[in-house]
Amino acid sequence: MLELLTRGIRLSSEQIEAAIVEYGRTLVVPPVSAFSFMDVIEIRNSPSPSWSITMPLWTKEEGRSDLSLELTLVEKGGGFEVEVDDIHVL
């Protein structure tokens, strides 16, 4: 599903899955309060309004984990394009 949202730009579904499998935990949907941990930085001098976002992920085993999702959000055509930059342990 994430690959559909991102159109596989930068990371394919196989690469995303490999990062999660290597981590060895079960991802879960984070609580609403998790979004307060999101780090959002505006990318200046970009041709379109863009932001770099880092978000910790949640697992069934740990709750908030040290695994994080890094993505770029680009405003285009009245919507947004999402590019997953990395999934890694902080």
- Nearest CA to 70 out of 46, 38, 44 is that of 38
Question: CA angle, corner 70, sides to 38 and 82, nearest 5?
Answer: 100
| In contact, 39 and 53? CB cutoff 8 Å | yes
Residue-level pLDDT, tens digit, the chain, 90 residues:
566 666 667 777 788 888 888 999 999 999 999 999 999 999 999 999 999 999 999 999 999 999 999 999 999 988 998 888 888 887
Whole-angstrom distance, CA of residue 81 vs CA of residue 60: 29
Q: Which residue has the tokens 């999934």?
A: 87
Measured distance CA(40)–CA(18) in Å, rounded: 25
For the question of whether the overall pTM of this predicted structure is more than 0.85, the answer is no
